[in-house]
Protein backbone atom coordinates (compact mmCIF):
# COMPACT_ATOMS: atom_id res chain seq x y z
CA UNK A 1 0.00 0.00 0.00
CA UNK A 2 1.24 3.50 -0.85
CA UNK A 3 1.73 6.00 1.93
CA UNK A 4 -0.16 9.29 1.45
CA UNK A 5 1.74 12.57 1.82
CA UNK A 6 0.17 15.99 2.36
CA UNK A 7 0.27 18.42 -0.57
CA UNK A 8 2.65 21.29 0.15
CA UNK A 9 2.10 23.26 -3.03
CA UNK A 10 -0.53 23.03 -5.70
CA UNK A 11 -0.67 25.11 -8.88
CA UNK A 12 -3.75 25.27 -11.04
CA UNK A 13 -3.42 26.69 -14.54
CA UNK A 14 -6.60 27.95 -16.09
CA UNK A 15 -6.73 29.16 -19.65
CA UNK A 16 -3.91 29.42 -22.12
CA UNK A 17 -2.09 32.15 -20.26
CA UNK A 18 -1.03 35.39 -21.81
CA UNK A 19 1.96 36.38 -23.81
CA UNK A 20 4.37 38.45 -21.79
CA UNK A 21 5.98 41.52 -23.24
CA UNK A 22 9.37 42.71 -22.09
CA UNK A 23 10.59 46.29 -22.32
CA UNK A 24 13.90 46.95 -24.02
CA UNK A 25 15.40 47.83 -20.63
CA UNK A 26 14.26 44.53 -19.11
CA UNK A 27 15.64 42.59 -22.07
CA UNK A 28 18.96 44.44 -21.81
CA UNK A 29 19.21 43.67 -18.09
CA UNK A 30 18.46 39.96 -18.62
CA UNK A 31 20.95 39.74 -21.51
CA UNK A 32 23.61 41.47 -19.39
CA UNK A 33 23.00 38.96 -16.57
CA UNK A 34 23.41 36.10 -19.03
CA UNK A 35 26.89 37.41 -19.91
CA UNK A 36 27.80 37.81 -16.22
CA UNK A 37 29.44 34.39 -16.02
CA UNK A 38 28.06 33.51 -12.56
CA UNK A 39 25.27 31.37 -14.08
CA UNK A 40 24.63 29.58 -17.33
CA UNK A 41 22.38 31.19 -19.93
CA UNK A 42 19.77 28.49 -19.30
CA UNK A 43 19.78 29.19 -15.55
CA UNK A 44 19.20 32.91 -16.15
CA UNK A 45 16.38 32.08 -18.58
CA UNK A 46 14.71 29.75 -16.06
CA UNK A 47 14.91 32.40 -13.34
CA UNK A 48 12.89 34.79 -15.52
CA UNK A 49 10.52 32.11 -16.83
CA UNK A 50 11.94 32.27 -20.36
CA UNK A 51 12.80 29.54 -22.78
CA UNK A 52 16.57 29.45 -23.19
CA UNK A 53 16.11 29.79 -26.96
CA UNK A 54 14.37 33.14 -26.40
CA UNK A 55 17.31 34.42 -24.35
CA UNK A 56 19.79 33.21 -26.97
CA UNK A 57 17.77 35.12 -29.60
CA UNK A 58 17.91 38.30 -27.48
CA UNK A 59 21.68 37.86 -27.08
CA UNK A 60 22.13 37.45 -30.86
CA UNK A 61 20.00 40.54 -31.53
CA UNK A 62 22.01 42.54 -28.99
CA UNK A 63 25.23 41.71 -30.88
CA UNK A 64 23.81 42.72 -34.28
CA UNK A 65 24.65 46.26 -35.44
CA UNK A 66 21.68 48.59 -35.17
CA UNK A 67 20.25 49.69 -38.53
CA UNK A 68 20.19 53.36 -37.51
CA UNK A 69 23.95 53.20 -36.83
CA UNK A 70 24.53 53.47 -40.59
CA UNK A 71 27.31 51.85 -42.54
CA UNK A 72 30.43 50.87 -40.69
CA UNK A 73 33.76 50.65 -42.54
CA UNK A 74 36.97 48.75 -41.95
CA UNK A 75 40.40 49.75 -43.28
CA UNK A 76 40.88 48.36 -46.79
CA UNK A 77 43.85 48.45 -49.14
CA UNK A 78 43.05 48.37 -52.84
CA UNK A 79 45.68 46.90 -55.13
CA UNK A 80 45.99 47.00 -58.89
CA UNK A 81 45.42 43.64 -60.51
CA UNK A 82 48.64 41.98 -61.72
CA UNK A 83 49.43 42.39 -65.41
CA UNK A 84 48.30 39.63 -67.72
CA UNK A 85 51.13 37.10 -68.18
CA UNK A 86 52.50 36.87 -71.70
CA UNK A 87 53.48 33.24 -71.22
CA UNK A 88 52.39 30.36 -69.01
CA UNK A 89 53.26 30.88 -65.31
CA UNK A 90 56.09 28.88 -63.84
CA UNK A 91 55.16 25.87 -61.74
CA UNK A 92 56.73 27.37 -58.59
CA UNK A 93 54.59 30.51 -58.91
CA UNK A 94 51.47 28.38 -59.18
CA UNK A 95 52.41 26.43 -56.05
CA UNK A 96 53.06 29.62 -54.07
CA UNK A 97 49.70 31.04 -55.08
CA UNK A 98 47.94 27.81 -54.08
CA UNK A 99 49.62 27.85 -50.66
CA UNK A 100 48.61 31.47 -50.14
CA UNK A 101 44.97 30.65 -50.91
CA UNK A 102 45.02 27.78 -48.39
CA UNK A 103 45.77 30.36 -45.68
CA UNK A 104 42.08 31.25 -45.71
CA UNK A 105 42.04 34.67 -47.39
CA UNK A 106 39.60 35.52 -50.16
CA UNK A 107 39.72 37.99 -52.98
CA UNK A 108 36.60 39.76 -54.18
CA UNK A 109 36.23 41.59 -57.46
CA UNK A 110 33.19 43.78 -57.95
CA UNK A 111 32.99 45.89 -61.12
CA UNK A 112 36.76 45.95 -61.57
CA UNK A 113 37.60 46.73 -57.92
CA UNK A 114 39.59 43.93 -56.26
CA UNK A 115 39.61 43.51 -52.49
CA UNK A 116 41.60 40.92 -50.54
CA UNK A 117 40.09 39.85 -47.22
CA UNK A 118 42.43 37.97 -44.92
CA UNK A 119 41.43 35.10 -42.68
CA UNK A 120 39.80 36.20 -39.44
CA UNK A 121 37.71 39.04 -40.87
CA UNK A 122 34.20 39.11 -39.43
CA UNK A 123 31.37 38.22 -41.78
CA UNK A 124 29.48 41.43 -41.00
CA UNK A 125 32.57 43.49 -41.89
CA UNK A 126 32.87 41.75 -45.27
CA UNK A 127 29.12 42.19 -45.85
CA UNK A 128 29.39 45.92 -45.05
CA UNK A 129 32.24 46.30 -47.56
CA UNK A 130 30.25 44.54 -50.27
CA UNK A 131 27.15 46.67 -49.55
CA UNK A 132 29.27 49.84 -49.72
CA UNK A 133 30.78 48.82 -53.05
CA UNK A 134 27.39 47.95 -54.51
CA UNK A 135 25.90 51.24 -53.26
CA UNK A 136 28.43 53.22 -55.34
CA UNK A 137 27.46 51.43 -58.55
* CATH assignment at residue 19: 1.10.10
- Whether residues 130 and 97 fall in one domain: yes
Tell me which residue range forms the domain holding 77: 68-137
Same domain, yes or no: 72 and 133 = yes
pLDDT score for 98: 42
Q: Is the pLDDT of residue 115 over 50?
A: yes
Characterize the bridge pairing of strands 106-110 and 113-117. antiparallel
96 φ, ψ (degrees, to nearest 5): -60, -40
Domain count, the chain: 2
* 122 pLDDT tier (thresholds 50, 70, 90): confident
Label residue 53 by pLDDT band (50, 70, 90): very high
Claim to verify: residue 58 and residue 116 sit in the same structural domain: no
pLDDT at 31 over 60: yes
Torsion of CA 53, 57, 59, 65, to 10 degrees: 170
Same domain membership, residue 88 and residue 59: no
69-104: per-residue pLDDT in tens? 566 667 777 788 777 777 655 555 444 444 454 556
Of 64, 98, 117, the domain-final residue: 64
Amino acid sequence: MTKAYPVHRLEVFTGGGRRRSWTDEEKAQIVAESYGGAETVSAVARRYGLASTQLFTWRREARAPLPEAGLMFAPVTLIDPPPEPSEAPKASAVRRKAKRNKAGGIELEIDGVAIRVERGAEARTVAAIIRALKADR
